[in-house]
Amino acid sequence: MDGFALRVAVVVLAFALPSWIVLSLLVVLGRVRYERIRREPTTALSSRETERLIRRMSRRPKTEWGKWRRVAALARLEQAHHPAVPRLVRAVLADPDPRIAAAAIRTLGDIGDEWAIDLLISELRTGGPRSRIAAELERLAPAPGRKLVRLLRDWNPTVRFWGATLLGPYPDLGESSLIALTWDPDPNVRAAAVETLGSRSGAAVGAATLACLDDSEWFVRVHAARAAGHVLGAAAAPTITRLLADERWWVRTAAKDSLRAVGTDAVPSLLSMLTHSDPFARNGAAEVLQDIGFVDFLALDDPSSPLLERIYAAGGEKLREAAETRAQGMPERRVEAA
169 preceded by a cis bond (ω within 30 of 0): no
- Report the Cα 118 to chain-centroid distance in Å: 23
HEC sequence for 106-141: HHHHHHCCHHHHHHHHHHHHHCCCHHHHHHHHHHCC
Least Å from the CB of residue 284 to other proteins: 7
CA distances from 281 to 103, 211, 223 (A): 48, 21, 19
Rounded-to-integer distance, Cα 73 and Cα 297, Å:
63
For residue 123, what are the CA distances in angstroms to 77, 94, 133? 22, 10, 8
Q: Which stretch binds other proteins (CB under 8 A): 26-34, 80-88, 180-188, 217-225?
A: 26-34
Q: How far is the CB of 253 from other proteins (least distance, A)?
A: 7
Is residue 319 a contact residue for other proteins (CB under 8 A)?
Answer: yes
Give residues 42-81 in contact with other proteins (rule: CB under 8 A): 64-65, 68-69, 71-72, 75
141 is an interface residue for other proteins by CB under 8 A:
no
Residue of 193, 241, 283, 294 that binds other proteins (CB under 8 A): 283
- Comparing CB distances to other proteins, the nearer of 10 and 338 is 10
The one among 112, 211, 261, 280 contacting other proteins by CB under 8 A: 280
For other proteins, the binding residues in 225-254 under the rule CB under 8 A are 249, 253
Distance, CA of 227 to CA of 205 (rounded, Å):
10
Write out the residues near other proteins by the rule CB under 8 A: 1-2, 4-6, 8-10, 12-13, 15-17, 19-20, 23-24, 26-28, 30-32, 34-35, 64-65, 68-69, 71-72, 75, 98-99, 102-103, 106, 109-110, 129, 131-132, 134-136, 138-139, 168, 249, 253, 280, 283-284, 286-287, 290-291, 315-316, 318-319, 321-322, 325-326, 329
